[in-house]
Amino acid sequence: MVPKPLLLETSFHLSNDGRPDNVPALLDALIDRLNLERPFRYRITPAPGGYSIVPTAMRNERGELVPYSSPLDTLVSIPQARRTIVAHTRLVIEQVKARIAYDLLGCCTPGASNIDNTEVEFGAENEPARNALQRLLLMRPARAKPAIQNMRCQPLERYCLVNWTPVQ
């Protein structure tokens, strides 16, 4: 089961170049509207390459709204080294799994994620796993299609699927 689609509307000012004048305020307004319309809660956080929509509350087994901490809020440290992007992502995910007892499945495989085994220099120092994965997303080869990082979770079953989805 998935939530039915929802149209979110809000007014905002444009700068002279036709872009939103204040992107953080626009995103906050949309999240405030979303939090009124959905049985969950979210926040917007600055992230490498843009912003992240992060869950902050969910329904428990009794249907009550309770605080929720995303597995990707877990702080990770990866020693700086030259590895494939896939190897770096696996290190990040392994640290998350070890700390929160979730099974994060389907993360960042070359076929599903539009990445290859390109080697990059990378490290993370006490950084949210979300940001580490997003920085890796930005290091993909220039020929890779634009993509977004997404995570689908079943918190009551303690598993999540993390992947990079190509943007059409």
pLDDT for 88: 92
Is the pLDDT assigned to residue 165 strictly greater than 90? no
- pLDDT tens digits along 69-128: 888 999 999 999 999 988 998 899 889 988 887 776 667 655 555 566 789 999 999 999
- pLDDT tens digits along 129-161: 999 999 988 888 866 677 777 887 777 777 888
Whole-model pTM? 0.81
> Strand pairing of 159-166 and 103-105?
parallel
**Alpha-carbon distance values, 29 to 8, 9, 36, 56, 156 (Å):** 10, 9, 11, 16, 29
Provide the 3-class DSSP secondary structure of residue 127: strand
Q: Yes or no: say if 96 and 74 are a contact pair by the CB < 8 Å rule.
A: yes
- pLDDT tens digits along 45-57: 888 888 888 989 9
User: What residue ranges do the domains of the chain occupy?
Assistant: 23-68
Beta bridge partners of 50: 47
30, two tokens: 């949309």
CA distance 150 to 148: 6
Residue tagged 């999240």 (tokens):
31
Provide the 3-class DSSP secondary structure of residue 166: strand
Q: Yes or no: say if 81 and 121 are a contact pair by the CB < 8 Å rule.
A: yes
Residue 123 has a CB neighbour count (10 Å cut-off) of 15
Write down the number of H helices and E strands in the chain: 4, 8
Rounded to 5°, angle at Cα 94 from 89 and 98:
155
